[in-house]
Amino acid sequence: MINHELLEAYLGRQATFEALGQALHARLKDVLASGGVEVHAVSHRVKDLKSLAHKLGRPDKTYQRLEDITDLIGLRVITYFDDSVDHVDGLIKANFRVDSSRSEDKRRRHDPHSFGYVSLHSICHPPADLLEAHPEWDWPFEIQIRTILQHAWAEIEHDLGYKSAESIPIPLRRRFSRLAGLLELADSEFVELQRALKDYTRKVAQQATLAPDALELDTVLLQSLTEKGPVAELDLKLAQWSRKPLSPTPFYPAYVTRMLRQVNLGNPSGILARLEEFGPRLHAFAERYFRFTTEAWGFGIEKLHSVQRGYSLLLLAHWQALHQAEQEAHRLENMKGFYQQIDHPHDEAEARRIARLFVNCFADWSPR
């Protein structure tokens, strides 16, 4: 039976809960930012009257006071990775007053034979400094922490309309369990992938040279190439020539990597070898290249705010494309293919227009 006195008490304090919810949301975002943890989303909600009435009417729950309902204000943190959940939990414990007796870590009690999302639920009270300014805010609230995959499961679970294993037909339970297991495995694999990527980045940074042919070019290798050695030297020369500052920000690593691969410069040793030949031609090539960009897009060297790290590799890729086109004696068609692959996969006419302008700017240029 619904406790109407509690509903009336809630209505009398609803504005307080709304203000408290917004303040807690802002505080939680600050805590996560200062703690150095990157999350997918932080949200909050204040329970609406219909939802509260449904909760008070449940036969398996009895509430004597409004304070007994711990989720009138609910906050949710959605992390990218499973190991971030404990990181977030530690920050919450350090910055809020957590009632451990009423909190629940559903990960610890998850039945291996059941299905459903798992998350960490902490029942908290506002920090002391908020209560000093607003004594009426001393109410419990809930913070849920879950991964983005656990959140996806919970949303689908809600849409399907089941809340327990008993509500699922027995013939379908095994399929739900199997799917939940796949999501749990995916969560673990994403953590391992993140660790492997960090290890790979660290190993690349520690290498004395990036010359081995066995290393296939990727954005990690590319950024390592731009930090020192011939690429860094050419970037500096380009900045000096253009009278622009040299920016530490890399120039679209994924784009430049794709461009270099397209012209068969798919490993660091190949890039470094071609740079030896391209380096003395950098200024002359850059002058024509920016003449081309002005005609093609109205974007000349004067509109560059700075020379970003790795910009010389962009020029190298164009120089290599021109070299390959010259070898096959079909400059326009080959440059059209280059721009179609890189910039205009669904617009052959535009790729041809850009290629024609490029070829015209380099009509009397020999890449050798």
Instruction: Write out the two tokens for 338.
Output: 């280059």
* Among the ranges given (105-119, 260-274, 295-309, 331-345), the one the predictor scored with the smallest mean pLDDT: 105-119
- What mean pLDDT is predicted for residues 65-70? 88
> What average pLDDT does the structure give for the chain?
87
- Write down the pTM of the prediction: 0.70
Most confidently modeled range among 108-122, 226-240, 328-342: 226-240
> Has residue 113 got a pLDDT over 50?
no
Instruction: Write out the two tokens for 96.
Output: 């809020």
> Has residue 344 got a pLDDT over 90?
yes
Dihedral over Cα of 152, 153, 156, 158: its sign: negative
- What mean pLDDT is predicted for residues 259-271? 92
The residue type of 9 is A
Dihedral over Cα of 217, 220, 226, 229: its sign: negative
Q: How confident is the model at residue 327 (pLDDT cuts 50, 70, 90)?
A: low
User: What are the distances in angstroms from CA 91 to CA 19, 35, 125?
Assistant: 23, 7, 14
- What mean pLDDT is predicted for residues 187-197? 91
Burial 195-227 (b: 16+ CB within 10 A, else e): eeeeeeeeebeeeeebeeeeeebbbbbbbbbbe
Which of 247, 240, 362 is closest to 293 using CA atoms? 362
Domains of the chain: 4-187 (3.30.460.10), 219-361 (no CATH)
The pLDDT value recorded for residue 202 is 85
The pLDDT value recorded for residue 181 is 79
Which of 49, 55, 29, 56 is closest to 40 using CA atoms? 29
The pLDDT value recorded for residue 237 is 95
Give CA–CA dist 158/338, Å, rounded.
48
Give CA–CA dist 106/150, Å, rounded.
12
- What mean pLDDT is predicted for residues 25-36? 95
Percent of the chain scored above 90 by pLDDT?
A: 56
The pLDDT value recorded for residue 184 is 83
The pLDDT value recorded for residue 56 is 82
* Among the ranges given (161-165, 240-244, 274-278), the one the predictor scored with the smallest mean pLDDT: 161-165
Residue with the larger pLDDT of the pair 258 and 56: 258
> Has residue 152 got a pLDDT over 80?
yes
- What mean pLDDT is predicted for residues 188-213? 78
Encode 90-103 in three state secondary structure.
HHHHHHCEECCCCC
Instruction: Write out the two tokens for 152.
Output: 């996806």
> Has residue 167 got a pLDDT over 80?
no
> Has residue 313 got a pLDDT over 50?
yes
Which of 104, 125, 65, 159 is closest to 56 using CA atoms? 65
Q: How confident is the model at residue 169 (pLDDT cuts 50, 70, 90)?
A: confident
